[in-house]
Amino acid sequence: MAWASVEMREMAVLKTMRVGVLSIGSELKTTLVQPNQIPSPAYKIADANGPYLAAAMREMGAEGDYLGAFPADTQIVVSFLREMLAKEHYDIFVVTEGTLSGKQDQTHRAIRALGGDVHFNQVAMSPGSSAIFASLQNPAAPETGNQRFYHGDASPSRHFYTPPKTPANGPKRGLPVIFGLPGAPIASAACMRFLVTPYVKQFSGMPEEEAMLARIAITPGEAFARQSLGQSLPQDLVIEGSAQFDIFRHGM
C-alpha cells in the first residue's frame, strides 16, 4: 500500500539464500527411506550437527533445510546431490562428515564425481582446519566450453576465493557451492560461524562484519579480589555474567 501510494509498481529485492544441510557418517542413524531397509543398529547415534546448522541458517534469514543423515557411501551421496542439483533449488550445500583421519573423504569424492572445483581444502584455524569450499556443476544446465559461472562478482570476504564476474549474456543463476565441514560438533559450529556465515551475509546484502579483539573472562570472585587490592581491571578483561560478557552464537 505504501509503495502504491507513491506510484511504485516494482521494486528490486535481494534474493533469499537457500541452503541445504546434510550429514555423512557411518556412525549416524540414517534418515534415508529405502525399500526393504533394515533399521539402524542400536549403537548408531542421531545426527546433531545437521538440525543445528539448518536452524542457524534460518536464524540468519536464509532458507535452511535439513536434508538428512547419510551413510558413508559415495554412490548414495553423489546420487542424492546430483538429484538436488538437477532441481536447481539450493544455492549452498553444507555437508558435515566425521572421520578418524580428519579429512572429509566422502565429501571430496562427491565433489570430484560431480565435476566440482575445490577452492580450498585447508584452513588455518582450529578447530575446523579440514574445512572444504568448492563450486559445483549443475547437471541440468548446458555447459559452454570450459566457461564456469559463479555467484556474483565478489567473495564473502577479501580473504576468500573471488569468483569471476558472470557475463551479461550468461545464466542469471550462479552455480551452487558446497562447504564441507568437520563432523565434530564444536568444529562444525566454528566453521559455520566463521566460514559459512560471512558467505551467506555477503550474498544476502548484509554489511561486512568488523573484526573485534577477544577479551579474557574472569570470575566475579577474581574481580572482587583485584578491586579489594586496589587494582583496576584492564580493558582486555571482562567479568563472567556481566553485560560485556560475549557469548558465542552462530548467527551473531
Q: Which of 96, 19, 14 shows the shortest CA–CA distance to 54? A: 19
Looking at the structure of the chain, the number of domains it has is 1
What is the arithmetic mean of pLDDT over 140-158? Answer: 36
What is the arithmetic mean of pLDDT over 162-172? Answer: 37
* Residues above pLDDT 70, as percent of the chain: 71
Between helix 74-87 and helix 105-113 the angle, nearest 10°, is 50
Instruction: Report whether pLDDT(156) > 70.
Output: no
**Residues 47, 32 contacting (CB under 8 angstroms):** no
What is the arithmetic mean of pLDDT over 123-144? Answer: 76
Q: What confidence score (pLDDT) does residue 149 get?
A: 26
Name the more confident of 7 and 33: 7
Instruction: Report whether pLDDT(145) > 70.
Output: no
Judge whether 32 lies within some domain: yes
CATH number of residue 180's parent domain: 3.40.980.10
Model confidence pLDDT, tens digit, residues 80-105 = 999 999 988 999 999 998 654 455 68
Judge whether 189 lies within some domain: yes
Q: What confidence score (pLDDT) does residue 14 get?
A: 74
Amino acid at 201: K
Judge whether 223 lies within some domain: no
Judge whether 37 lies within some domain: yes
Judge whether 5 lies within some domain: no
Note down the domain range covering 91.
15-140+172-204
Residue 239, helix vs strand vs coil: strand
Q: What confidence score (pLDDT) does residue 163 get?
A: 38
Confidence of residue 46 (pLDDT cuts 50, 70, 90): confident
DSSP state of 28: B
Model confidence pLDDT, tens digit, residues 8-28 = 878 777 778 899 999 998 888
Judge whether 104 lies within some domain: yes
Q: What confidence score (pLDDT) does residue 192 get?
A: 92
Burial (CB count <10 Å: 0-12, 13-18, 19+), residue 117: middle
**Residues 163, 140 contacting (CB under 8 angstroms):** no
Q: What confidence score (pLDDT) does residue 100 get?
A: 47
Q: What confidence score (pLDDT) does residue 217 get?
A: 75
Question: What DSSP string runs through 58-123?
Answer: HHTTSEEEEEEEE-S-HHHHHHHHHHHHHHT--SEEEEEE--SSSS-HHHHHHHHHTT-EEEES--
Name the more confident of 213 and 160: 213
Instruction: Report whether pLDDT(211) > 80.
Output: no
Instruction: Report whether pLDDT(41) > 50.
Output: yes
Q: What confidence score (pLDDT) does residue 7 get?
A: 78
Task: Write b or e for each residue in 147-164: b if 16 or more Cβ atoms lie within 10 A of its Cβ, otherwise e.
Answer: ebbbbeeebbbeebbebe
Judge whether 97 lies within some domain: yes
Confidence of residue 123 (pLDDT cuts 50, 70, 90): confident
Q: Which of 132, 172, 164 shows the shortest CA–CA distance to 148? A: 164
Name the more confident of 35 and 197: 197
Instruction: Report whether pLDDT(53) > 90.
Output: yes
Judge whether 230 lies within some domain: no
Using alpha carbons, list the distances in angstroms from residue 243 to 176, 185, 216, 222, 240.
Answer: 40, 27, 14, 17, 9
Name the more confident of 170 and 217: 217
Instruction: Report whether pLDDT(223) > 50.
Output: yes
End-to-end CA distance of the chain: 33
Instruction: Report whether pLDDT(121) > 70.
Output: yes
